Structures are given as structure tokens and as C-alpha cells.
Structure 1
Amino acid sequence: MIQLHSPILREIGALSRTIHAISDVKLKEHHLQKGQFIFLTRICENPGISLIQLSILLKVDKTTTTKAIQKLIGKGYAMKENHETDKRVYSLSPTEKGLEIYNAVIEEENKNIQICFQDFTEKERVLVYELVKKMRENIDTSWCELKKY
């Protein structure tokens, strides 16, 4: 039987799922459904981003992005406009209502960060960030090849 080289991805996956579950419950009062907050935050942080750019940024397929965006638009949190030069491309922007919700999302994210980094030194916080970022950068090429981006 093949042995797993490291349980690190299982730990990262469990961490991610736990944070998403907590955030989904806490953000339900703002009528954000499962995982929609990640789409809203990236639109607020990158106004004018296209659907494809958003998919690449979040590492999700275009269909998932399209469905999430349609729901955010329907709730009045985001808007989609034709790109200035390429009418086949849509630019996404937050609405005022979306920007208000963004603040609640970031507050919740900051609470989760504080809990996760409890009893960490500043040096450990920086090291964890740098190491996880490096892991993500290492796997990015494989993901882009798989999705044909």
C-alpha cells in the first residue's frame, strides 16, 4: 500500500472547510449562501475584474463563478457591465450594498485569523504565510494547465 508523504494538505483542507463553515453560518444574516463571500470580497478588492480573472484568482471553474455572480447580482451586491473595449467580456464591480457587506465579511475573516494565529509569534505568522503562499504558487501551474488557462 502506498503511504501518504505528508498530512499537510489534509490539515490545510480541514482548516479551509472549518473557516468556510463558520463564515457561512455567521454571514447567513447578510443572505450570503455557501461560499459566496469569497466571490464578493474579491470583487470588492478588484473592481472591474472579469469572470475569467475571478475564476483564476479563486481557483474555481467558470460555471461556479457564473452561478455565484448571478446570485450576488440578484441580491444587489454586485453588478456586471460589458467591458469597455471587448463587449464579449463582463467587468464585475461591487454595489454600495456589496461594499457594506464586504466590511462584515472582513470583520469575520479578521476574527478567524485572530483565532487561527492564537499563541503564534509574529515571526511564526509571517513564516506560515510565506510557506503556504509558496505551496500555492508551486501548484498554480498545474491548476492552470488542468483548466486550460
Structure 2
Amino acid sequence: MTRICENPGINLVELSNMLKVDKATTTKAIQKLIKAGYVNKKQDEFDKRGYNLTPTDKSLEVYDLIIEEENRSIEMCFENFTDEEKQVATKILEKMSKNVEKEWFKIKR
């Protein structure tokens, strides 16, 4: 839901790629979000086979709370870290993320 709020109009394929999950997993999650009233799904006007996802007012209301909690969790993780340790940890996590992304795209193809 947060990625849809941050990228209104995103389609299922783009969202799946962003999350590094298969389209079936994304579709199941989106169906639940639509049913709960958090996401709207509209047919793409240029590609009738595709759909664009947009946040509802309900999702925008909780988005800030989710991001606030996410930021609080990150702060908690870095508690008692020096600035240098935070930089090192961030670089390591970014490197790990790139490795996962590279492998995910390799498997996807």
C-alpha cells in the first residue's frame, strides 16, 4: 500500500518488480487491499490489458502513520550507533539489496 501511495498509477508489473515478488503474489495482495478499501484499480487507457493502481482516501489517511512507525523502527535499530556505524550499516544493507535485486531479476528471466 505504501508503494502505491508513493507511486500513484503504478501497474502490477512495476509494483511486482519494485517489491521483488512474483505477479501472482502482488495480485493476491492487491485484491485484499481493494476489498478493504485501500486501493483503486482502473484499466490503463493506453493498454487495455493492464491496470493502474491508485490509493484511496482511506489509505492516504493511514500512510503517514505507517511511515511514522517505519521511521521509529529504523531509529530503534540504530540506537546507540555512532554516525560512522550508521553509514557502514547503511552501505552494507544497500549492497545486500543490490545482490538480492540482481538475483531476483536473474531468476525472473
TM-score, structure 2 length as denominator?
A: 0.91
Asked which structure has the greater RCO (Cα within 8 Å, sep 6+), the reply is 2
* 1:68 matched to 2:24: no
In structure 2, the residue matched to 1:125 is 86
Runs of 4+ with >4 A deviation: none
Q: Deviations over 1:4-50 (max 9, x none)?
A: xxxxxxxxxxxxxxxxxxxxxxxxxxxxxxxxxxxx11111111111
Distance 1:96 1:125 in 2: 35
SS in 2 for 1:120: coil
Unmatched runs of 5 consecutive residues or more in structure 1: 1-39
Q: How far 1:128 moved relative to its partner?
A: 1.6
Find the aligned partners of 2:97 and 2:60 in 1 and give their Cα distance.
Answer: 28
Instruction: Tell me which of 38, 51, 54 is aligned to 1:90.
Output: 51
2:86 match: secondary structure = helix
**Alignment: residue pair count:** 109
What's the secondary structure of 2:103's corresponding residue? helix
RMSD of aligned Cα (Å):
1.3
Q: Does 1:108 align with 2:69?
A: yes
What letter matches 2:29 in structure 1?
A
- Residues 121/84 of structure 1: CA separation in 2 closer, same or farther (3 Å cut): farther
Residues in 2 aligned to 1:127 and 1:84: alpha-carbon distance in whole angstroms:
45
CA shift digits 1:62-100 (9 cap, x unpaired): 111001000101111111111231111111111111111
For residues 1-149 of structure 1, the aligned pairs below 5 Å read: 40-148=1-109
